[in-house]
Structure 1
Amino acid sequence: MGERTGNDHRDLIKQVLDDGAGPARSALAASWRRSMTLYGLDPESRGQVATLTETQLRAAREAMEPMTRAAQGVLDRLFLAVGDAGCCVLLCDAEGVPVERRGAATDDETFHRWGLWPGAVWSEAVEGTNGIGTALAEKRPVTIHRDQHFHARNTGLSCTSHPIHDPLGRLAGALDVSSCRADQTEAMLGLIAAAVADAARAIEAQAFRQAFAEARIVLAGDAAERNTAALLAVDRHDLVVGATRAARLALSITDERIAGQLAASEVLGGAGGIEADLLEAERGAVRRALARNGGNVSAAARALGVSRATLHRKLHRLGLAGAPH
C-alpha cells in the first residue's frame, strides 16, 4: 500500500466505517472505529507523537525493570536478525510506551522523528490504530502496515507487535519491530512476525525463570508445543507456585488454584513421564515426612508446610491413605 495524503486516508477510513458491517468483519476496521468514535481522534491530525517527561519515563522504566532485565539478550539477538532490513526493536510497557530500544545509529534520526523512541506514547487511545497500541488493546499479535495506521502521518510505518505477559500471567507490555522503509514486502513482514513471536516468548520465559529462581521449572504441554513458553514453577513439595500465561491457558491454572496448593501432578495429566515422576516425587516426600514424624499426620503436615486436611487429601490421592503411618 502506498502512503496517502491526509484527505485520501480520511476518505478511506470513512468509506470503511460507513459500511456498518465493516468493523464486525474486520479487526482493522474495528480498531479504526475505536480510534474515531471511542477515542475521538482525527486521522488528519498533524501533531507529533505524545512523549513522556524524563521523570515519567524514568518511572516507567523502573516499573518495567524486571522484564527489561530479562529481555536484554533477546533484544540484542532480535535486532541482529532484523536490523539490516532497516528495522528498530522496541520493548514497550502496558501503556504503549517504549522503555528499551535497539536500532542502528545511522537510522536514529529518522526513527526519532517518527516517534519510534523511548518515552513516546503509542497507546491506541493516543495514536489510534498502530502496531503497539492495537496489540495491547486486542491482547494479540498484530502487524499494522503503512496505511492501515489510523493517523495519516503514520502511514509510512510498518509495525509488528506481540503482547508480553509477566511471570504472573498479566499483560506487561509489547515487543515491537518497526520500519519506515517503503520496500517491506508481505513475505518480509511474515518473517519479522515469526521472529517477534519467538522473541516475545523467550522474554516471557526468561522473566519467569528469574522470578522463580528457587523453584524447579517444568515444561507443560507436548513437545510440539514447547515454543509456547508454557512453564510451571514447582517447589520442593511438587506444588505449583507459578505458571506462565501460556501454561495458565493450556492447563486452566488460576491464582486461586495456585493459592490452594495445587499439585503439579494434578495439571500434568497428559505429560506422561513427567506426571509419573512428579507423582512419585510427591509420594516420596509425603512418606519421608510421615516417617520422620513417627506416622503423626499433624506433625508431618507441619513439616510439609500444609494443613492436616490438605495432607489427608494428598494421602488419598497418592494411594497412601491405607498404608501404615
Structure 2
Amino acid sequence: MLGVPGRGQSHADRVAATVNSKVCAATSGVAASWRRSMVYHGLDPSARRPAHRVEAPRLEQARERSASLIQIALPTLERLYSTLGGSGCSVLLTDAEGLVLETKRLAGDALDFDTWGLTSGAIWSEAMEGTNGIGTCVAERRAVVIHQDQHFRADNISMSCMGAPIFDPLGQMAGVIDVSSCRRDLELPYAQMLGMIVAESARAVESDLFRSAFPGCRIVVADGHGTTGVSLLALDADDVIVGATRQARKVLELTDAVLAAAPAAATYLGEQEGEVRGGERAALRRALARARGNVSAAARDLGISRATIYRKLAQHGLDG
C-alpha cells in the first residue's frame, strides 16, 4: 500500500515517505519500483527535465538491431492504434532497454506526446525516468499498469502507461509494447482494461516472432499457454523439440543446453496426443531424446542391441 498524501504534501514527499517505509516497499510493486528509482538509480522525483533522447545515429542502430521485431510487430501496432488512437492514446514499441523505436498516434496529438517524451528516440528505462509503464515492465519482465501518480517523477503523473513485454524465440527480452494516455480523466479500471489488451497484443507479437524463427517446423501449444505468457514449441520432422518460448522453457524446464542435447521433453507432445510418426530415423531420435542421449538406454527402449543401434545411427547420420 502506498503512502497516503497528507494535506499539502507533494508527490515527491509522498514518494520519499513511501520509499522510507519498509512495509510499503515489501507489499507494493509500485513502492518497490519507487525504491529502486530513488535508492538504486539515485533519481529525484521532483527533478524537472525532459525525457532523455538519443541522437539519430544511435536510434538508427537500435532500429537495425530490432529490425525483425519492428517488422513483425507493425501490424499489431496498427491494430492497437486503429482501436485506441482516436481516444487520445499513443502506441509505442521499444527495445529491451526501453528505447522507443516506433510510435503510432493521431497527427493532432503528436506535439503533446512529443512534449511528454513519448516519441521515437526517447529512453523510458527506470534508470532514466523511474517508475513508468515501459521501464518498470523491462525491470520486472512482466506486464504493468502505471496509472498517473503511480509514476515516480512528478513530471509524469498526468500520464497512464500500460506496458507488456515481448520475449524473443530464445526466451530473452526483445522489447515492450506500451499504450500511453495523458488524459487526466482516464480512470484506473479503464487503464487496467487497456493493460489486458496490451498484454494480449504483446503475446501475439511474441507468437509471430517465434513462428518466423522456425520456418518449416511444426509449432504446437504447450502447457501453460495463455496464463502468464506464450507457451509454444517448435518440432522438427522427427518430432524433436528444436525451439521453445520463454514460458514453455519455464513450464517444461527446458534450457538451451537441454534443447541442444536431445531433451527429455522432446517426445512429450507426441505421447500426449498418441501420435505415431513414421520412419526409423525419427524413432531413433525420439528414443535418444527420451534417454537424454544415452545410447544404451535408447537401445533398451527400442528393444535392440547396442551394436544394432550404433549401426542404425551411423546409417542415418546420427551422432550417438
- Partner residue, 2:119: 117
1:267-290 per-residue CA deviation (whole Å, 9 max, x = no partner) reads: 438x732xx21xx21xx322688x
How many angstroms apart in 2 are the aligned matches of 1:159 and 1:210? 29
> Using the alignment, how far apart are the partners of 2:246 and 2:143 within structure 1?
15
- How many angstroms apart in 1 are the aligned matches of 2:216 and 2:264? 17
Equivalent positions of 1:240-255 (< 5 A) are 240-255=241-256
Rounded to whole Å, the distance in 1 between the matches of 2:91 and 2:103 is: 6
Matched residue, 1:295 = none
Aligned to 2:237: 236
| 8 Å Cα contact 2:102/2:120 also seen in 1 | yes
Taking only aligned residues, the RMSD between alpha carbons, in angstroms, comes to: 2.6
Following the alignment from structure 2 to structure 1, what is the Cα–Cα distance between the partners of residues 154 and 228? 37
The alpha-carbon deviation at position 69 of structure 1 amounts to 1.3
**Gaps in structure 1 of 5+ consecutive residues:** 1-5, 290-299
Distance 1:237 1:204 in 2: 25
**Counterpart of 1:218?**
220
Query: Structure 1 residues 114, 229: closer, same or farther in 2, change over 3 A?
Result: same
2:238–2:282 Cα contact (<8 Å) kept: no
Q: CA 1:7–1:113 in 2, change beyond 3 Å: closer, same or farther?
A: farther
Provide closer, same or farther for how the CA distance between residues 310 and 158 of structure 1 changes in structure 2, counting only shifts above 3 A. same
Render the CA deviation track for 1:295-319: whole Å, top value 9, x for unaligned.
xxxxx88xx9xxxx656544444x4
Q: Which has the higher contact order (CA 8 A, sep 6+)?
A: 1
What CA deviation, in whole Å up to 9, does each residue of 1:118-151 have, x standing for no partner?
A: 1101000011111100111111111111111111
- Specify which of 35, 51, 64 is matched with residue 49 of structure 1: 51
Distance 1:84 1:192, change over 3 A: same
Q: Deviations over 1:227-272 (max 9, x none)?
A: 9421111111221111111111121111111001226544438x73
Q: Give secondary structure in 1 for the equivalent of 2:10.
A: helix
Contact 2:238 2:281 in 1 (8 A): no
1:90-135 Cα shifts (integer Å, max 9, x gaps)? 1111110111111111111111110111110100001111110011
Cα displacement string for residues 32-57 of structure 1 (whole angstroms, at most 9, x for unaligned residues): 11111111111111111000100000
Q: Secondary structure at the match of 2:145?
A: strand
- Structure 1 pair 174/225, CA: closer, same or farther in 2 (3 Å)? closer
Aligned residues with identical type, % of pairs = 42
Give the match's secondary structure for 1:28: helix
| TM-score between the two structures when normalised by the length of structure 1 | 0.83
Q: Does 1:66 align with 2:60?
A: no
User: Which residue type is aligned with residue 237 of structure 2?
Assistant: R
Q: Which runs of 5+ in 2 are unaligned?
A: 1-7, 313-320
What is the alpha-carbon distance in structure 2 between the residues aligned to residue 197 and residue 268 of structure 1? 27
1:206–1:9 distance in 2 versus 1, CA, 3 Å: same
Deviation, 1:18, is 2.7
Match of 1:285 among 279, 283, 308: 279
